[in-house]
Structure 1
Amino acid sequence: MTAKEKLAERATEVESYLQSCLRDRGIPERLLASMEYSLLAGGKRFRPVLTLSWATMLGGDRDAVMPFAASLECIHTYSLIHDDLPAMDDDDLRRGKPSNHKQFDEATAILAGDGLLTEAFGLMSAASIVKGLPADRVLRAIHVLATAAGSGGMVGGQVVDMQFTGRNGVPLEELRTMHAMKTGALITAACQCGAILAGGTDRDIDNAREFGKSIGVAFQIVDDVLDVVSDTDTLGKPAGSDVAMGKSTYPALLGLEKSKELASQHIDDAIKRLDDYSGDEKQFLTEMARYIVDRVY
């Protein structure tokens, strides 16, 4: 089975949980339809799968960690809904379907994003309240994820991205910092939270964090490359939109080949962080890391 097939198999497990996690919550029908329209629109479920894999590798209870893992997908989905809005990236297509604000309307899309973000914290706490994970682990993981998703992480990264749009000559280090906030922070938190929830040691948590940082950088570089070399049908969103909007990207600064080389270097760094471990989950995480860059070769 290929890495892509393994990821798809594990994504199905997450998908099954997501199908019901917003039900029976008293959410108004139109708002629920908008939230589920984007949450259940497909996708690799990359972030929750990372959380589950790190937790499982370190001996954690996969079922108990699932609500927390699902919260990452809720946060990620909310960010996509808001990123697509006319006031931000102004994209009409997401995962091969009309963006949320096109399918519904702008106000509903904004509130759907707000709803998903808030529901995410309910899911995080359910890992302790419903599933019985130790409260101190869950509280620590919530702190990590809130920091990653907040104004010093993903939200702040989106602001910096907008400031960079149309600006020439953004230094590589500033671009790297921006993407570490906007894209990398949530991927890093996904790995780190899995290790925390499993009761990992400080070394385990450090390995998870650094693994996440490295694959987060590679993930963004590859996304930038794919925006140049792929097509709209393959991406499920408008190809070439980065160039059209004047966004600062790795290919724009380094060229395609050097960007690919840099992504591969970061994947090698990530895989070194798995040296302490063995078994199926180590193998899966190794294959997942390599799959990130394989998409552009």
Structure 2
Amino acid sequence: MADPVPGQQEAAFEEAVELWLADAEADALPMLSDLAQEGNAAAQLLLALIDKSPALQGPWLSQLPRAERVELMRMPGGLSGRSWMHEAAEQSPLAGLWLRLWAADAPAALALDFAAEGEARAAREALIYAAKREAGGMAALVDHPDYPPGLRFLAWQDGAAIDGEDLAPGDPQRRMMGLELATDEVADWLSTAPEALSVRRFCDNRCAASARSCTMAAAQAMGAHSILLTFGSPSERLIDAARFAASARGQSALLRRVALSTDARGRRHLLADAEATDPCFAVHLQEAIERYRAPLITSPLPPATD
């Protein structure tokens, strides 16, 4: 078990995390900002990850004026502030891994470093980023015990001699490895796959009567399998994956991530497709989209009179 991130066990940090998971951004984020300025590396790391990930940002943060947002979420420096991750890396090797991930030359092997730190989601993210940059290296890693099993297809695409016939019939990896995918069994895969935990918890909580079709609607609405693979707790060392998935913030973030998979014009089709698969999920998605609409500006002029 890796050591806690410095500051992670402070009562004030734990309270701020509880508030953030309860979707109380206006209370939680100023607390985290104060802790970050006091040198709490855990708060610095979490703020940096929230700042980097639009899906983790609720309506309150998204609608803050830019200057206030920069002051709240970043450390001083430059025109737009600097990520707190730089400061956190002075105390936490884990923060240093994220700085390496955000660099243009991050290698695929970084995934194993994240996995060793208990960051399964970040390990998947590191491999997907490496694949997008055509960095290679996955084939040489696939036999390592810490290699994410849900991303064997990347090693296959990198030239590894992998027989994917042992994959579950509904595992989306099959399609990406040139194998037949039993589309009617994808819901079975979603019901057990660790990568789909957030989708399952959302549907069990919000759409229990139609949980199976809800998971299909949510996964399809994400628009790409890579999005499903990389969605979840910003840092599993700070916030356990199951805890995040069951939280109000985690479930709001899932809806936000789905909404961000297309532009404003595409959301009409997104909602129509969701409605066709699971009306319950579509209702929650529509509500989430509405939450982020900018509030109407009330005219300062008095109403016209006859």
Q: Which has the larger radius of gyration?
A: 2
Higher helix share: 1
Instruction: Report the TM-score when normalising by structure 2.
Output: 0.30
Greater RCO, CA 8 A, separation 6+ = 1
TM norm structure 1 = 0.31
